[in-house]
Structure 1
Amino acid sequence: MEDAWLPAAPNTGHTYRDRVDAAALQPRAGLPVDAVPSVSGFYAARYPHSSRLLWLQRLAAGEISRNGQVLRADGPLVPGDRLAWRRPPWEEPAVPRLPAPLWDDGDLVVFDKPSGLPVLPAGGFLEHTVLRQIERRVAAGDLEDGAGLPRPVHRLGRFTSGLLVCARCRSSRAWLSALLRDSTAATPGPAQPAGCRKRYRALIAVGPASALAGLLPGESLTITTPIGRRPHGRLGAIWAAGGERPLPAASTLTLLERREAGWLVEVAIASGRPHQIRIHTAAAGAPLLGDPLYRPGGDVEPLVLPGQGGYHLHAHRLSLTAPEGRRLELEAPLPPRLRRLGDGLGMAP
């Protein structure tokens, strides 16, 4: 349906603000000794997606100011300097519209987020996000905000569909954040905190050397590969298997169906690391089908960004215990490709 999408459209631009601290002025590997203390060097080190030459061009265009004064050329920095980059308007790609809530009790609001829709402004998206669509819906009177604006409590990747929890009250957001925050892998395996259980559906590409290759339908495997920061060609660093200062993590995969085009699995996560399911399935030699970033074994494609899609991952079920003790059982309907064959729609394109 045509009205199910927001068409590509220009936004009004945005100002990105930074404060310079002493650590940011230390020389970085791969840059000239005098590179980082300059404005262009600071930006090139902090935002490696753009080269130093491009930051010099932005300076010349008058897009960058230091301590409130517009700069036209590069210059030195000192700790405490305040920088602002006024990014000109750019066109944001078309995205799906946010559907009506699955649940709304006056405080908690739960949406079935479509694949392709970012949750918060980032990665080239400013207006075409869940948050902005909620704000516009409230302004139009289509969504109540009596206890405050419903704000997302957690993130889902742009191309991850399914349950997204929002809350109007600040205290509820704090409670939910603590509940949804990772429990670490102190108790790895299917056992998850009694207060929160998260289950996903996904399609994976299982290689012959994968730890999952011998799995039979109904059987499970727990993956406890730590997740840390590793070098990345465009972002400087990215979350991946192992890496620097790795954090414990646990995911349990249960095989539902073997298919030629990809195995259908359910994933229960006992921690909440960034891109955890994408990283864990890849580390086990069975990355999400169509994932362009995470390679079998845990390596990453150096020029691919996390926001690039192609994979099939859905936040299907979420169980929460509210502060007053009531149990919330939430479920987002499965996309056709993530349904079992027995449903009659499991292999739909």
Structure 2
Amino acid sequence: MSSSGKPLPSTTLPRLPIMTFGEPWPDLNDGLTYRDLIPPPHAGLTVIEYYSKKYKNSAPVQGWLQRIKNKQIKVDGAVITDPNTILRAGSELVYHRLPWKEPHAPYLLEVLFEDNDLIALNKPSGLQVLPGGLFQQRTVLSQLEWRANKGTSSCKQPHAVPVHRLGRGTSGVLLCAKTKLAKSCLAAYFADGTSAVGNESCNNARFNSTRKISKFYRALVNGIIDQDQVVIDQPIGLVKYPGVAKGLYVASASGKLALSKVSILERNVKNSSTLVQVEIQSGRPHQIRIHLSFIGHPLLGDPLYVAGGQPSCFDPEFIDESFAQDGDLRIQFQGTADIICMHISCFLLTPLHMSRSRLSHHFPLFCRQRRKSAEVDIGNEPMNLSV
């Protein structure tokens, strides 16, 4: 109230300052080193026989010959140039993959909350959490390591580690443990819900209200979903997929049970799209993408999954690396990794023993804005952030 008794005009409380960290990516990564100890059954094979048989998906025979010629392979510490070198049981075989330029990925990470045990980040879309495939350095894990070591990985100081995964195309809240105890506890909390679902049959699938951690995602999907709430319990399993050695996860009756609860937030009839919030009980790979496509409403921008929870014929995210003239592996496509922009975000995560605590990440309505904001709060009171 003012001195005259009239109410003061309402004001918007200032946002807490956004705290970010991140080092720009080097042009080339450090390459990779692969080690093999030769078991007795493989004794007597030549180097080229061993690699071309065991790792035929990595490169054709001429690829391995080129790597040997480039002096990228050692046997028991000595560089070899003869592809017909005979291997002995117990020998150590080392292949050094040359450094390469990884596809584009954002590097700045926003800090939502941090204390002595954990740090909660707002992971941007396009950034991979852990090393894999084409992305060995451009990951959240690398940035956490560089942060602890002040921009370098040479000191090897203890650093925070992610305790769960978000897909590369998914943005939102990512919890990382800073201590062994926190890592153990958080990992157990995340596993609690998944293991509970894994022990249920499809007919008995239900949501566990006593879970210590709940995860909510917001996504924009194709088409109009008529029901206000949908529970999906379609199992998810691996099938063979061209170019993916380990196979691809799809909706499969022989797979593991997965449970998702979909709530409708808004329907846009004009654009034939629906904004949904998804709570997942289990944590199967690509679960939300598969489940929403299974009911006929795939994510907007998803290049892989189509109606029925099955893969389309092409997805740049899963293209295998191809052999190049220098004998190393290079990306065959240009720019396709940069345009993957699925409309999904890990919006809300309620962690630990504080029932009223929550870490939330605002998802722009119908994804009209690529830039995202974030907030952390307990109940209705903002939480102070410390770095």
Instruction: Tell me the alpha carbon deviations over residues 83-124 of structure 1, each in whole angstroms, 9 at most, x when there is no partner.
Output: 332111111233222333100011110000011111122222
Distance 1:250 1:20, change over 3 A: farther
Task: Give matches, 1:179-258, under 5 Å.
Answer: 179-181=189-191, 182-183=194-195, 184-185=197-198, 186=200, 188-206=205-223, 215-216=226-227, 219-243=228-252, 246-258=255-267
Match of 2:288 among 277, 280, 292: 277
Distance 1:291 1:163, change over 3 A: same
Q: Determine the C-alpha separation between the residues in 1 that align with 2:251 and 2:48.
A: 28
**Residue 343 of structure 1 aligns with which residue?**
none
Distance 1:326 1:149, change over 3 A: farther
**Residue 331 of structure 1 aligns with which residue?**
360
1:135 correspondence with 2:107: no
Q: Determine the C-alpha separation between the residues in 1 that align with 2:221 and 2:225.
A: 14
**Residue 315 of structure 1 aligns with which residue?**
346
Q: Determine the C-alpha separation between the residues in 2 that align with 1:330 and 1:139.
A: 27
1:58 correspondence with 2:70: no
Structure 1 residues without counterparts, runs of 5 or longer: 26-33, 142-146, 207-212, 341-349
> Is this contact kept in 2: 1:120–1:130, CA < 8 A?
yes
Give 2:32's aligned amino acid: H
Instruction: Tell me the alpha carbon deviations over residues 55-83 of structure 1, each in whole angstroms, 9 at most, x when there is no partner.
Output: 34323322233443434316676775543
Q: Determine the C-alpha separation between the residues in 1 that align with 2:22 and 2:47.
A: 47
Match of 2:96 among 72, 86, 100: 86
Q: Secondary structure at the match of 1:117?
A: coil
TM-score, scaled to structure 1:
0.77
Q: Determine the C-alpha separation between the residues in 2 that align with 1:21 and 1:337.
A: 55
Aligned-pair identity (%): 34
Alignment root-mean-square deviation, CA: 3.3
**Residue 30 of structure 1 aligns with which residue?**
none
Give 1:152's aligned amino acid: P
Q: Determine the C-alpha separation between the residues in 2 that align with 1:22 and 1:284.
A: 50
How many corresponding residue pairs?
A: 311
Distance 1:196 1:285, change over 3 A: same
> Is this contact kept in 2: 1:38–1:76, CA < 8 A?
no
Distance 1:244 1:336, change over 3 A: closer
> How far is 1:194 from its partner?
2.4
> Is this contact kept in 2: 1:190–1:270, CA < 8 A?
yes
Match of 1:42 among 54, 64, 75: 54
Give 2:106's aligned amino acid: P
Distance 1:15 1:296, change over 3 A: same
Instruction: Tell me the alpha carbon deviations over residues 285-340 of structure 1, each in whole angstroms, 9 at most, x when there is no partner.
Output: 22211111122212223552546523111000111233xx6653111222454489
**Residue 107 of structure 2 aligns with which residue?**
97
Q: Secondary structure at the match of 1:246?
A: coil
Give 2:114's aligned amino acid: D
Q: Determine the C-alpha separation between the residues in 2 that align with 1:328 and 1:76.
A: 61
Instruction: Tell me the alpha carbon deviations over residues 254-302 of structure 1, each in whole angstroms, 9 at most, x when there is no partner.
Output: 1222231532111110001111111211222222111111222122235
Q: Determine the C-alpha separation between the residues in 1 that align with 2:132 and 2:162.
A: 14
